[in-house]
Amino acid sequence: MAERLVTFEKEGAIGVVSLRRPEKFNALDIPMLRALETALDEAEMADGVRVVLLRGEGKGFCAGGDVEAWGAMSAADFQVQWVRYGHRVFDRLARLRQPTIAVLSGHALGGGLELAVACDFRVAETHIKLGFPETSIGVVPGWSGTQRAVRRFGAQTVRRMALGGEILLAPEALALGVVDRVAETGNGLVEATAWAEKIAERGPLATEAAKLMIAVAEGEESAAATEALASGFIALTGDLKAGVDAFKTRQKPAFSRT
């Protein structure tokens, strides 16, 4: 059986999603995106997982989209199979129920930075570089680099990277709010894990609800978040049980305000 390109592992209350294409600096192609989507589904459904770390094996976090994967695509395929599908997977990450931390132990450029931006937090090792260099090869950030990144970091910071071609080092990225913490080289996973353990100690339902409410305020999602919060509230009342029991026994439900 071939080794999976992206894996999910549970370590107590912490889940770890690992990009496993180190020979390509974890560059993303369609098989990688599919594997990432599957791993995120596993993380979402994992019982007891309260925080999810996203990391890359080898020397790079993620080099972005693999040029060899999309370079020969037709315009139609590039739009649908590459950009739109990539958006769907990145949105899946952004809307994961658990808080997420990107562990940047290697460079995060282009789509790699967009992937990190889809996480709630970013821990960067001091030596890494971050940026949106796409315009240097005649394309634009296509997986939310001009949308989600602007909402989270501000338009001017994104202009500097996407238009001006600036590559940020971790300390400057920290000052601009692009990353949340900087760790010494080789210590990123340790720092992120310690932070995740503290987050995991907080009330899990309250943490998930707070994440949803922030997503609504940020414009990340609204309709789905509203319905999820309302449905979760109803599920904690007696109404759901009364309704289900009545359905099973073919009787009229006896609702109460408890």
> What tens digit of pLDDT does each residue of 193-238 get?
999 999 999 999 999 999 999 999 988 876 666 766 776 777 777 7
125, 134, 208, 220: the active-site residue:
134
Summarised one tens digit per residue, pLDDT across range 163-176 is 999 999 999 999 99
Torsional sign, CA 121, 149, 169, 32: positive
Q: Is 134 a catalytic residue?
A: yes
Cβ burial 18-48 (10 Å sphere, 16+ → b, else e): bbbbeebbbbbbeebbebbbbbbebbbebee
Between 159 and 145, the more confident residue is: 159
Residue 73, pLDDT > 80, answer no
Average pLDDT for the chain: 89
Summarised one tens digit per residue, pLDDT across range 3-34 is 799 999 999 999 999 999 999 999 998 899 99
Q: What is the pTM of this model?
A: 0.89
- Domains of the chain with bracketed CATH: 6-201 (3.90.226.10), 204-249 (no CATH)
Confidence of residue 243 (pLDDT cuts 50, 70, 90): low
DSSP letters spanning 100-145:
EEEEESS-EETHHHHHHHTSSEEEEETT-EEE--GGGGT----SST
Confidence of residue 1 (pLDDT cuts 50, 70, 90): very low
Residues near 32 by Cβ (< 8 Å), separated by ≥ 6? 5, 6, 19, 21, 26, 66
Of the candidate ranges 65-69, 180-184, 187-191, 192-196, the one whose mean pLDDT is the lowest = 65-69
114, 125, 208, 220: the active-site residue:
114
Between 68 and 251, the more confident residue is: 251
